[in-house]
């Protein structure tokens, strides 16, 4: 038989193999046949309970979500401002975190009473009000500050409580944070206590959370902890040490995590994906076809 005829038959056969692999690739494509139509799960409007029908008073609201909704804080009077600092006799610690108060720490789970490099802030609600007992601890040559932010970033004139080291004693300031700069202001704060031990600054105080952070059930804000220089009464540029996501300040069982240390997650392809195997087979088939073509030219 003529060699050219044999090579032609072989070339056609391999071409059909290549086409078959292409069909196989198309056959492995997942289609949306198993997608559940959202409309199929919609409950008829006749079964919807009108939330307004269950409202009994402004301070005791029953919602359609059930009885697990936290009651909205009352609108009691804000605290009278008094930033005179008394000596802190009991060191700030993580006792009661996650059971009696919400805490945020850096490093995670550190105890400010034992670890000098522990940045710490905690919040405990006073009854059903917008008043909170706050504790702050951190290591700095200047000041340690705790910021309440209405979004997930610090700045935009966010309310900030500053505990500064003034020649070995704590000096307290209310401030607004904007673009890493603090501007002193008057806040509803009293019962301030503080202590400086080396570079560790600790202070406790009572504060009225600024509206609208805690004006209704589930209202959330971010907690920030920062440090910076304090020279001749001037608050220098702040450096963020801790920033939580939005959290409910009244949730004494909660925990605030530091998003500044969040690891970036890389998404990889599913191990069941077959596209790479199909591509490899197609490449091998094309290589064989090219080889046969070269040999055919050499034999002619």
Interatomic CA distance for residues 83 and 86, integer angstroms: 9
Phi, psi of 272 (to 5 degrees): -90, 0
Q: Which CATH class is domain 72-261?
A: mainly beta
Interatomic CA distance for residues 235 and 255, integer angstroms: 29
Cis, peptide link before residue 12, omega less than 30° from 0:
no
Question: Which of left, alpha, beta for 209 (phi over 0: left; psi -120 to 50: alpha)?
Answer: beta
pTM of the model: 0.64
Spell out the domain ranges in the chain: 72-261
In terms of C-beta density within 10 A (0-12 exposed, 13-18 middle, 19 or more buried), how is residue 84 classed?
exposed
> What number of residues does the chain have?
300
Cis, peptide link before residue 212, omega less than 30° from 0:
yes
DSSP 283: H
Per-residue pLDDT of the chain (300 residues; tens, 9 = 90+): 555 555 554 554 555 554 444 434 444 434 333 434 444 343 444 443 444 444 333 333 333 333 344 455 555 689 999 999 999 999 999 999 999 999 999 999 999 999 889 999 999 999 888 899 999 999 999 999 999 998 888 888 999 999 999 999 999 999 999 999 999 999 999 999 999 999 999 999 999 988 764 445 556 889 999 999 999 999 999 999 999 999 998 899 999 999 997 643 333 333 444 344 444 445 545 554 555 454 554 555
Angle at which helices 275-299 and 3-27 cross, to 10°: 170
Interatomic CA distance for residues 74 and 162, integer angstroms: 27
Token duo for residue 293: 């073509």
Residue 73, Cβ neighbours under 10 Å: how many? Answer: 22
CA 219 to chain centroid, in Å, comes to: 16
């Amino acid at each position: 038989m003529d060699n050219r005829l044999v090579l032609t038959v072989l070339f056609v056969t391999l071409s059909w193999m290549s086409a078959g692999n292409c069909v196989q690739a198309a056959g492995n494509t997942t289609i949306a046949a198993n997608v559940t139509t959202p409309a199929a799960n919609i409950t008829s409007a006749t079964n919807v309970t009108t939330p307004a029908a269950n409202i009994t008073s402004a301070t005791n609201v029953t919602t359609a979500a059930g009885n697990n909704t936290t009651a909205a804080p009352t609108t009691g009077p804000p605290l009278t401002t008094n930033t005179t600092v008394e000596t802190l006799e009991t060191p700030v610690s993580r006792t009661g975190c996650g059971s009696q108060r919400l805490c945020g720490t850096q490093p995670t789970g550190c105890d400010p009473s034992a670890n000098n490099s522990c940045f710490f802030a905690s919040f405990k609600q006073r009854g059903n009000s917008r008043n909170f007992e706050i504790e702050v601890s951190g290591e700095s040559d200047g000041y340690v500050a705790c910021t309440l932010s209405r979004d997930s970033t610090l700045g935009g004139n966010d309310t900030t409580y500053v505990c500064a080291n003034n020649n070995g004693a704590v000096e307290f300031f209310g401030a607004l944070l904007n673009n890493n700069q603090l501007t002193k202001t008057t806040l509803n704060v009293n019962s301030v206590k503080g202590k400086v031990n080396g570079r560790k600054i600790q202070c406790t105080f009572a504060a009225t959370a600024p509206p609208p952070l805690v004006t209704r059930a589930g209202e959330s804000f971010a907690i920030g902890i920062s440090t910076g220089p304090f020279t001749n009464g001037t608050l220098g540029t702040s450096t963020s040490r801790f920033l939580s996501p939005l959290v409910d300040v009244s949730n004494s069982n909660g925990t605030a995590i530091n998003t500044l240390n969040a690891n970036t997650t890389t998404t990889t392809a599913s191990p069941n994906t077959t596209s790479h195997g199909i591509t490899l087979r197609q490449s091998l088939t094309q290589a064989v076809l090219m080889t046969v073509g070269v040999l055919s030219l050499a034999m002619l």
